[in-house]
Amino acid sequence: MNEPLRLMTPLSDEDVRRLRAGDRALLSGVVYTGRDAAHKRLFELLQAGEELPVDLRGQVIYYVGPTPAKPGRVIGSAGPTTSGRMDAYAPALIAYGLRGMIGKGLRSQPVIDAMTEHGAVYFGATGGAAALLARKIVSCEIVAYEDLGTEAIRRLVVDDLPVTVINDAYGGDFYREGVKAYERSPGGA
Amino acid sequence: MKEINTSAITDAVAQACISACYDLPPDIEKALERGMADEESPTGRDVLGQIIENARIASEESVPICQDTGFAVVFIRLGQDAHIVGGSLTDAINEGVRRGYSEGYLRKSIVAHPLERVNTGDNTPAVIHTEIKPGDEFRIMIAPKGGGSENMSGVRMLKPSDGVEGVKKFVVDLVKSAGSNPCPPIIVGVGIGGTMEMAAIMAKRAVIREVGRPSEKPYDAALEQELLRLVNDTGVGPAGLGGRVTALAVNVESYPAHIASLPVAVNIQCHAARHKEIVL
């Protein structure tokens, strides 16, 4: 396994272009949280041609709905949610200028196509490792849709968040490649 | 007649919700350690290492293992000789969930209507399954269930002629197509027989059965081993990044079926297989 790359957000076009499916990375800088309900609202604004409450051009979205922070803590547990539920909205956000997404699970072909067309990358974080990942979050502030509770958009600053490039800007898919390497045919050895 | 006060039930449920979400059960921890030894993929071992470390942090710091602290699924075994006093059992359970999710800083993940989708704000109501048993014991199992793995579950009404091969294909195809979504390594609960809803409830009971304890029915125990091998041959691996350890266990529950029917339900459980039982 290769040593992880160190990446600073927001990602430059050059950063996105050098990443390949299967690369491990430690992400530092600002990322925005957003999941189902927030995506629905952002998508509706984009469709109506209106301004988003947060400028997400060049930014990275982390698909997460954290638990409430205990007193004295920055944030509660904060692992990735299943990205596929955002697939209906992601191509529009990528076309608008979103550069990166962090989540877990498979993406649809339209999302993968939008990533290759516009230059974006999809990172996987370990699903369920929410207490460990929360330790990498150094600040947290709600910036939009506070009424959505855990689904509000938060501005996080992360420090060395461990992720793996799943889909790169060239159509590479690490889920497919990784599984193929270990798949055994039925009845085989 | 033994009396059980609803206030004791509320206290027990609140406590169980919190400890289930903070502390991974020992059988799951052991299974993850064994998975670490069996995993051939370096990436897979890296992921398993993160999962084991995560469980340690959650327990030590008293924080949730996973941010999805789930739907509060509650299994009750009520002895028919016990008497519940002090109000409604359902209300007592929901009050326990409300308190546990608030006091434990757990996430509120329930919307009041599946299509209107407004959060209830306190993670109620619970999903409650009740069984009446002989005796006067009151057993309550809290199993917070995350959405990511639940969404990958399924029910199929097979034909009797599909037989065991049909069952195997349904289970393996489901795990394969779910891939990374349900946070592998998973536990696969399989309910075979009964009616459609019976199969689904058996599948749910199967996922909370202790990992490493085979079915008491020899046929089902052998099927569990065969299904585990097939599921791990998919290559999905930890976090779906490829590897040997896709599932920690496959647990099968079965029940007599109609001459025309072969219902099969598969409930997928992520590696944060949380459950806590309390006996009153």
Say what the ipTM of the complex is: 0.95
Consecutive H or E run containing B219: helix B218-232
pLDDT at B63 over 80: yes
Contact list, B147 vs chain A (CB under 8 Å): 81-82
- Contact (CB, 8 A) for B143 and B126: no
**Phi, psi angles (nearest 5°) of residue A70:** -70, 155
Amino acid identity, residue B262? L
Q: Residue A157: which of A171, A129, A137 has the closest Cα?
A: A137
pLDDT at A186 over 90: no
Rounded to the nearest 5 degrees, what angle is found at the Cα of B205, between the Cα atoms of B199 and B207? 105
Q: Count Cβ atoms within 10 A of the Cβ of residue A147 and give its class: 0-12 exposed, 13-18 middle, 19 or more buried.
A: exposed
pLDDT at A187 over 90: no
How far does CA B247 lie from the centroid of its chain?
Answer: 13
Q: How far is A137 from chain B (nearest CA, A)?
A: 14
Q: Could B147 and A129 be called an inter-chain contact, meaning their C-beta atoms sit closer than 8 Å?
A: no
Instruction: Say which of A1, A70, A82 has its CB closest to residue B42.
Output: A1
- Contact (CB, 8 A) for A92 and A118: no
Distance CA B87, CA B93 (A): 11
Q: Could B50 and A132 be called an inter-chain contact, meaning their C-beta atoms sit closer than 8 Å?
A: yes
For residue B103, the chain A residue with the least C-alpha distance is A70
Q: How many CB atoms lie within 10 A of CB B228?
A: 17
Ranges of beta strands (E only) in chain B are 2-5, 71-79, 82-85, 127-133, 138-145, 154-158, 186-194, 247-257, 262-269, 276-279
Instruction: Say which of B151, B180, B237 has its CB closest to residue A104.
Output: B180
- Contact (CB, 8 A) for A186 and B230: yes
Contact list, B40 vs chain A (CB under 8 Å): 182
The interface residues of chain B toward chain A in range 200-239, judged by CB-CB distance below 8 A, are 230, 233-237, 239
For residue A68, the chain B residue with the least C-alpha distance is B105
> Model confidence over A12-67: pLDDT tens digits?
999 999 999 999 999 999 999 999 999 999 999 999 999 999 999 999 999 999 99
Query: Residue A33, SS3?
Result: strand
Sorted by where each starts, the structural domains of chain A and their CATH numbers stand as 5-184 (3.20.130.10)
Indicate if the alpha-carbon torsion angle A86, A50, B121, A150 is positive or negative. Answer: positive
Q: Could A67 and B244 be called an inter-chain contact, meaning their C-beta atoms sit closer than 8 Å?
A: no
Q: How far is A94 from chain B (nearest CA, A)?
A: 22
Mutation site, B174, B241, B270, interface A, largest A CB count within 10 A? B241
Contact list, A164 vs chain B (CB under 8 Å): 43, 241
Matching residue, tokens 């159509």:
A171
- Contact (CB, 8 A) for A139 and A115: no
The interface residues of chain B toward chain A in range 165-194, judged by CB-CB distance below 8 A, are 179-181, 183
pLDDT at A1 over 90: no
Does B51 touch chain A if contact means CB atoms closer than 8 Å? yes
Per-residue pLDDT, averaged over A148-160, amounts to 97
Q: Could A126 and B61 be called an inter-chain contact, meaning their C-beta atoms sit closer than 8 Å?
A: no
Distance CA A164, CA A178 (A): 12
Q: Could B107 and A132 be called an inter-chain contact, meaning their C-beta atoms sit closer than 8 Å?
A: no
> Model confidence over B198-243: pLDDT tens digits?
999 999 999 999 999 999 999 999 999 999 999 999 999 999 999 9
Distance CA A26, CA A6 (A): 5
Query: Whole-angstrom distance between the N-terminal and C-terminal Cα of chain A?
Result: 25
Q: Could B148 and A104 be called an inter-chain contact, meaning their C-beta atoms sit closer than 8 Å?
A: yes
Amino acid identity, residue B115? L
Per-residue pLDDT band for B1 (boundaries 50, 70, 90) equals: confident
Task: Report the DSSP beta bridge partners of residue B187.
Answer: B249, B269
Matching residue, tokens 């992880």:
A4
Tokens, residue A90: 């992601």
Distance CA B104, CA B111 (A): 20
| Long-range own/partner contacts, residues A89-92 (CB < 8 A, 24 or more apart) | A89/A39, A89/A40, A89/A42, A89/A43, A90/A39, A90/A114, A92/A43, A92/A46, A92/A47
> Model confidence over B36-61: pLDDT tens digits?
999 999 999 999 999 999 999 999 99
Amino acid identity, residue B60? E
> Model confidence over B76-129: pLDDT tens digits?
999 999 999 999 999 999 999 999 999 999 999 999 999 999 999 999 999 999
Per-residue pLDDT, averaged over B168-184, amounts to 98
- Contact (CB, 8 A) for B123 and B256: no
Distance CA A67, CA A149 (A): 10
Give the pLDDT of residue A2: 75
Per-residue pLDDT band for A159 (boundaries 50, 70, 90) equals: very high
Tokens, residue B112: 């009041």
Contact list, A132 vs chain B (CB under 8 Å): 50, 53-54, 57
Q: Could A127 and B230 be called an inter-chain contact, meaning their C-beta atoms sit closer than 8 Å?
A: no
From residue A27, alpha-carbon distances to A122, A161, A184, B174 in Å are: 13, 5, 34, 33
Tokens, residue B137: 């014991």
Q: Could A105 and B147 be called an inter-chain contact, meaning their C-beta atoms sit closer than 8 Å?
A: no
Active site amino acids of A: 39
pLDDT at A189 over 60: no
Matching residue, tokens 């049909």:
B166
Whether this prediction's pTM lies above 0.80 is answered by yes
